[in-house]
Structure 1
Amino acid sequence: MPEKDTRILILGVGNILFTDEGFGVRVAEDLEQKYQFSDNVTVLDGGTLGLKLMGPIMESDYLIIVDIVLNDGEPGEIFRLLGEDLNKACAFKNSLHQTDLLDTLAQCSIIGNVPDEVVLFGIEPVNYHDMSAALSPELTARLPQMEALVLDEVERAGGSYALRTDKNPATEKIYVPRDTSRNS
């Protein structure tokens, strides 16, 4: 399959109401607001939808997931997990969405339609217990680095992107804006 035909899904998962737990969703929101992607790239706020994500996942060839992971790293440490490392991370419940995400990928596999490539960009959280729409300052500072890693992965997979301008503004609305007055 030519790279231009590779259907790429950027999936940000998490719960934006629990501080760093919403990191993956915030990355997806930022990418959608800042960049216009080639037609073969979809950016999706997967929230905590679990099995409801089967359709978009099965329709993709290259899945890029952004989430927080508990991987015994330093707060703000970023991990790129794939293949056996991704399986181990899910098996050992390193991701806070491992059950939903693992079940969803397993169901897609049973049906016989999983993406050819699955990459998880995980980040070690600081705070995922407190109820707040704000990210911790440590994870807020890592947003640009995570976004750059995802953009590099998109290019590696055969997608492209351009900065949005006044002529191509984002059409997605952010319904729960990040609260920047807390956690600072």
Structure 2
Amino acid sequence: MSNDSPRILVMGVGNILYTDEGLGVRLVEHLEARYDFSEQVTLFDGGTLGMRLMGPIMECDLLIVLDAVLGGDEPGAIYRLTGDDLRKSLAFKNSMHQTDLVDTLIFCQLAGHCPEAVIIGMEPFDYETMHPEISPLAQERLPLMAEVALKEIAAHGGSFTPKSA
């Protein structure tokens, strides 16, 4: 890997016990099952790890968070968020995640390295029902969300190839 290639961390977050709150984790599983990624791209199931995510976050140059996003649009809507809009992501609200991801990024900055952050998210259909599977709507829209995530990876110099069946 050349030294000028940004290190990209693709992190799915959410609580997989609450339907669509787990869709970020399910998207990481979807991507891992279907693609091989270049060495500067790391996929990571962040679950609800909170402050324990600091290590992996501090080792990357770009953080792509995959999560459920409350953006006010129709369920299934796909979002790309940066800057102040990050707080629409469930990981950036003190939801069922152990720690607000904004706090984790602030601690990373205080510790000396805070990467650029982008959220690729989907408006959830249901994130309150205790059920380990995402909703049929979220399942149907997952490949579209994956395409947006893959475009983001490619835009920052990462590459991927489909796995052979």
Task: Verify same fold: TM over 0.5.
Answer: yes
- Residue 36 of structure 1 aligns to a residue whose secondary structure is strand
- Letter of the 1:162 partner, please give it: T
Q: Distance in 2 between matches of 1:47 and 1:125?
A: 16
- Unaligned runs of at least 5 residues, structure 2: none
Deviations 1:37-92 (A, max 9, x none): 00000000100001100011010001110101112111111111112332xxx2xx
Q: Distance in 1 between matches of 2:3 and 2:72?
A: 35
How far 1:3 sits from its partner (Å)?
A: 8.2
Residues 136-151 of structure 1 aligned to structure 2 (within 5 Å): 136-151=135-150
- Residue 51 of structure 1 aligns to a residue whose secondary structure is helix
Partner of 1:77: 77
Q: Percent identity?
A: 50
Partner of 2:89: 95
- Residue 102 of structure 1 aligns to a residue whose secondary structure is helix
How far 1:102 sits from its partner (Å)?
A: 1.2
How far 1:163 sits from its partner (Å)?
A: 1.1
How far 1:103 sits from its partner (Å)?
A: 1.2
Residues 26-65 of structure 1 aligned to structure 2 (within 5 Å): 26-65=26-65
Q: Does the CA contact (< 8 Å) of 1:3 and 1:158 recur in 2? A: no
1:119 aligns with 2:118: yes
Partner of 2:156: 157
- Letter of the 2:89 partner, please give it: S
- Letter of the 1:52 partner, please give it: R
Partner of 2:66: 66
How far 1:138 sits from its partner (Å)?
A: 1.1
- Unaligned runs of at least 5 residues, structure 1: 167-184
Q: Does the CA contact (< 8 Å) of 2:69 and 2:123 recur in 1? A: yes
TM-score, normalised to structure 1's length? 0.81
TM-score, normalised to structure 2's length? 0.90
How far 1:120 sits from its partner (Å)?
A: 0.5
Q: Distance in 1 between matches of 2:13 and 2:3?
A: 25
How far 1:134 sits from its partner (Å)?
A: 1.2
CA gap of 1:131–1:71, structure 2 versus 1, over 3 A, is same
- What is the aligned-residue RMSD (CA, Å)? 1.5
* Bigger CA radius of gyration: 1
Q: Distance in 2 between matches of 1:165 and 1:79?
A: 29
Q: Distance in 2 between matches of 1:139 and 1:16?
A: 13
Poorly superposed stretches of 4+, deviation over 6 Å? none
- Residue 97 of structure 1 aligns to a residue whose secondary structure is helix
Q: Does the CA contact (< 8 Å) of 1:4 and 1:159 recur in 2? A: no
- Letter of the 2:141 partner, please give it: R
Partner of 2:104: 104
- Residue 39 of structure 1 aligns to a residue whose secondary structure is coil
- Letter of the 1:114 partner, please give it: C
Q: Does the CA contact (< 8 Å) of 2:89 and 2:119 recur in 1? A: no
- Residue 113 of structure 1 aligns to a residue whose secondary structure is coil
